[in-house]
Amino acid sequence: MQTNSSDTDHVHWKFQVYQTLKNLDIKHVAYVPDAGHSTAIEKFEADPEVSSVVLTTEEEGIPYLAGAWLGGERGVMLLQSSGVGNCINMLSLQNNARFPLLMLVTMRGEWGEFNPWQNPMGQATEQALKLMGVLTWRAEKPDEVDSQILGAATMAFDGDQACAVLLSQKLIGKKAWTKKR
């Protein structure tokens, strides 16, 4: 995997996602398995204080997190940009019910993408979220991840907003296509 940062920074920011969310008292993590979120997913799966829920499709995470909030607990959804398209209609639930919704989105279809099927939604993710009233921020470098998550979480949990941090493909690293012979 190639990245635009050192291997140490690359590993550090991935662990920092878990630690930052833990420090924010996140008790529920809803996700569809994704390599970009794999470190945080593994940490949350091993954490007995957090309920980790594997979703069959991303839009299931929105009502799940609404229920967690109604039960007095904070949650986050980890998803890939291609899954944002699955959430568009369900975002109307947050828009009308006004509960905190924090999403961390690993981006595909950007810099260095090898899979053309990722490009359409990858290019439309931020605009689609904004059209549905979701506040968005991008992290392009390892040292931006923590502050972007903290800022988005503050706006989500203190202001009952839908907020998304987009973790750029440059940050995550270029995926390599391997041909089988």
Q: What is the pLDDT of residues 2-42, one digit of tens each?
A: 444 444 555 589 999 999 999 999 999 999 999 999 999 99
Q: Report long-range pairs for 116-125 (Cβ below 8 Å, ≥24 apart).
A: 118/81, 118/82, 121/81, 121/82, 121/84, 121/85, 122/81, 122/82, 122/169, 124/85, 125/81, 125/84, 125/166
In the predicted model, what is the mean pLDDT of the chain?
91
pLDDT of residue 23: 97
- Taking the model in full, what pTM does it have? 0.91
Low-confidence ranges of the chain (pLDDT < 50): 1-7
pLDDT of residue 173: 83
pLDDT of residue 180: 66
- Planar angle of CA 28, 11, 109, nearest 5 degrees: 75
- Containing 162, the helix (H) or strand (E) segment is strand 162-167
- For each of the domains in the chain, give its residue range(s) and CATH number, in order of start: 7-172 (3.40.50.970)
H helix and E strand count, the chain: 8, 6
